[in-house]
Amino acid sequence: PDQLLRAARVDGANAWQLFWHVTFPHLRNVSTVTIILLAVANFNSFIIPWIMTGGGPSNASHIWITNIYELALGRQRWGVASAYSVLLFLILMSLGY
């Protein structure tokens, strides 16, 4: 709100203090939701890396989700793949909490 910015300027706040103590607290909720959604999207991005490289040369482009896929359907190591999936689920749930 403009009134808070004016009050902070009257109190002698510089531009950094205006941003950090007035503007940023009002953007905190939006920033938190955006970061959580981007993290979930990045953890679950499977299609593009798999279609483009299939794991890449020497598994250079394997990410967590493609590694789970390769373990389960490529090497038939279902237990390890399910354990990785549970860990991924717990990490994503902790981010959302």
Here the tokens at position 74 are: 């490529």
In this structure, of 75-79, 80-84, 89-93, the range with the lowest mean pLDDT score is: 89-93
Nearest-5° Cα angle at 78, 74 to 71 = 35
The domain ranges of the chain are 1-43, 45-97
CA-to-CA dists, residue 62 to 38, 49, 88, angstroms: 19, 8, 15
Q: What is the SS3 string spanning 59-88?
A: HCCCCHHHHHHHHHHHCCCHHHHHHHHHHH
**Mean per-residue pLDDT over the chain, rounded:** 88
Instruction: Answer yes or no: pTM beyond 0.85.
Output: no
Which residue bears the tokens 């950094």?
16
Q: What are the pLDDT digits (tens) for 38-56? A: 888 887 788 888 888 887 7
